[in-house]
Structure formats: C-alpha cells, structure tokens
Structure 1
Amino acid sequence: MARKFYSIFSLKYPPCHGGDLFPTGALSFRQPFAQYTHCPTCGQPCFPEPGFYYGALFISYIGSGFFCLGVGLFLHWVLGWSMLASFAVLIGLVAILFVWWFLASRTAYLHLVFGFKPDILAAARAGKIDVRPPTTIKTT
C-alpha cells in the first residue's frame, strides 16, 4: 500500500510504477498540462479511451474541497487567525498547488482503474519490452 501511495504522489504510471506520466515536474508551470501518450517504461497507453479522465474531476473536486475545509478550519479555529487571513493563505496555497493537484488527481484515477502488475515491471526492467519514445499531448 505504501508503494501505491508513493507511486501516486510521485506521479508514476500504475502497471509498472516506474514510468513518469508527465514530462514536466509536479510544480512546474512550463507546459503544466502536458502528458505522455504512453508510459516510457512499459509502453502502456496513458489515454485508454476518449474522455477517460472525467473521473479524475471528481477526485480533484472531493480532494480539494476537503483540503480547503481542513486548512481553513485549522487556520481559523486552531491558530485563531481571522477569516481574511485564513482565506488569503488558503488562496495562496491553492494557487501554488493547483498544477500538482491536477496531476495527482489524474494519477490517482489511473491507479484506481489500473493496478500494479509486477510481471510488467519485471519485463520492463529485464528489457523484454520494446518501447518507442513517448510523445506528449499538450492540451488534455
């Protein structure tokens, strides 16, 4: 289970836990929504069907809602900050973490649908899978 969470938070592809899903870093604002067409390690497609990532919208919505509630309540009730200061910090955090949250929700949705396959990881590490270099899709 820890490996799955590590793979989600480091934005790795679920079947092999080795290939990056995105060409840029998690907090990079240079091409923030670019995504590989397939895994660079195992060659599995990152877009299994048209409209696949609509489910990631719900993960993003639920996760960001709970994050905002938790941070806002913590700053206001526990630390005793004013509502204005709490919202200012919350808006700043959301602005900084927006790209990471978008990428992490896509990764989490892929992990919900596809599981880890140790045989694919072993074949990729042994060099038994011929993978062409991935291309990126810039608007997702």
Structure 2
Amino acid sequence: MNIVAVLVNALKMKCPRCRKGDLFESPTLGFNSDSFKMPDKCPVCGQSYMPEPGFYYGSMFLSYIMTGLFCIVFMALVHWVIGLTLMVSFMILIAILALGSPFIWRMSRSLWLNMMEKYDPDWDK
C-alpha cells in the first residue's frame, strides 16, 4: 500500500478503487445536509461505499486522532511560538474545531475507506 497515494486520494475524497468517483454527493464542503451524504456505491466503478454494517466506526477513531494531533500542534505553535495566552489560544482552537468539524468528519471517512479498500488500476476490465 502506497501511503502517499492513499493520503492524496483521501484528501481528494475520491473512490479508493478507481480514484475517479466522488465519495460525497456534494464535492464542496458546506453546512448543508448534502455535504454529508454519501452514495451507496461509486458512480464510476460501482465500489460499495458501505462494505458492511458499522464500517465507519473506525473512522471515529481516526477523527479523534486527527483532532488530538491538530490540537497539540496548534497549541504548541500558538502558545509557545507566537506567545498568545492560554485563554486566547483555547478560544481560537475551539472556534477552529467548531468550524472545522465537518471537514474532519468527511476526511476521516475518506481516509478510513481509502485505507481499507485497495486501488485497482484494472477495475474496468
């Protein structure tokens, strides 16, 4: 498994099998319900986006890890490098997390599916 290719494809939020179909019905991130809807399968290659019931429980752990790492790095940079007080740093962090949670949710699902399903360059044969 090429980790860089998996991460790039997860960032693009494309199908892990063909790397062409969109994972979400709305390609742009917004605060509407279409931003969170996933089709049942890839519109290009037919790869199931729900391989089994409860498949995306693992993405919750990825979301937790990504958020935790972001918080640690952000607080280290803002508090110790820039020199803001802890209260201001936490207020900025909470605002970023509140606005960034839809992105983290989509990214964790995309990364989880891309880690579990393999790329098949010959999917159309």
Amino acid at match of 2:13: L
The answer to whether residue 29 in structure 2 is matched with residue 27 in structure 1 is yes
Cα deviations across residues 71-128 of structure 1 (Å, max 9, x unaligned)? Answer: 01110001000111111111111122111110110111111111111001xx2xxxx7
- Separation of aligned partners in 1, 2:28 and 2:90: 24
Structure 2, unpaired ranges of 5+:
none
The answer to whether residue 96 in structure 2 is matched with residue 93 in structure 1 is yes
| Identical positions, percent | 37
Say if 1:27 and 1:97, in contact at 8 Å, map to a contact too: no
- Separation of aligned partners in 2, 1:17 and 1:97: 25
Number of paired residues? 122
Partner of residue 52 from structure 2, selected from 37, 40, 49: 49
Cα deviations across residues 53-87 of structure 1 (Å, max 9, x unaligned)? Answer: 00111111111101011101110001000111111
Say if 2:6 and 2:111, in contact at 8 Å, map to a contact too: no
Partner of residue 39 from structure 2, selected from 36, 39, 45: 36
Say if 1:26 and 1:100, in contact at 8 Å, map to a contact too: no
Cα deviations across residues 33-52 of structure 1 (Å, max 9, x unaligned)? Answer: 21111011111110011000
Q: 5 Å matches for 1:58-73?
A: 58-73=61-76
Amino acid at match of 2:8: Y
CA RMSD of aligned residues (A): 1.4
Amino acid at match of 2:77: F
Change in CA separation of 1:25 and 1:94 when aligned onto 2, cut-off 3 Å: farther
Residue of structure 1 equivalent to 2:85: 82
What TM-score results when the alignment is normalised by the length of structure 2? 0.90
More relative contact order, 1 or 2 (CA 8 Å, 6+ apart): 1
Structure 1, unpaired ranges of 5+:
129-140
The answer to whether residue 9 in structure 2 is matched with residue 7 in structure 1 is yes
What TM-score results when the alignment is normalised by the length of structure 1? 0.81
